Amino acid sequence: MTMSEAEARAAAERNLCGLVGALARQIEGHVRERAAALDLTTAQAVALRELTGPMTMSDLAGRMGCEPSNATFVIDRLEQHGVVERRPHPSDRRAKLLVLTQEGAGLRERLLGLLTEGSPLAALTPDEQSVLQELLERAAPR
């Protein structure tokens, strides 16, 4: 019995979805483990990873893939620990910029080092990671 073309495509897509899901779970577990080593929650680690410079809460929430209210909760905790501070936005009086403190910049640097160690993506060469990124961006544009 031969598989129809539609069945074959559905099976291939199901397999690919399973692989992407498995990779996402591996990455999430890796981030969770590395975050715990620094006494951070997974969400706090993701926020620190994504804070590549001063940005608004909306920008951060978009990078984290969550609602601004969830990002606010995470940033409130990081601010309480002296890792992040809110500063006036230079052109929007209603907005605040999130900025890492000196302590926060050091913590982020340590986190990035831990995240790259033993990452599920470390099995790929930089060129392979670039190809994967390009393919994922085409499949799931932001």
Query: Where does residue 130 fall: left (phi above 0), alpha (psi -120 to 50 degrees), or beta otherwise?
Result: alpha
User: What does the pLDDT read at residue 142?
Assistant: 72
pLDDT digits (tens, 9 = 90+) for 85-107: 999 999 988 889 999 999 999 99
Rounded CA-CA distance 121/110 in Å is 18
C-alpha distances out from residue 108 to 49, 101, 134, 137, Å: 7, 10, 26, 25
Class of domain 5-139: mainly alpha
Contacts of 28 (CB under 8 A, 6+ apart): 42
User: What does the pLDDT read at residue 3?
Assistant: 72
Is the confidence at residue 21, as pLDDT, over 60? yes
Q: Which residue, 57, 56, 32, is CA-closest to 43?
A: 32
Chain mean pLDDT for the chain: 93
Residue ranges covered by each domain of the chain: 5-139
Residue 116 C-beta-side C-alpha neighbours within 13 Å: 9
Is the confidence at residue 1, as pLDDT, over 60? no
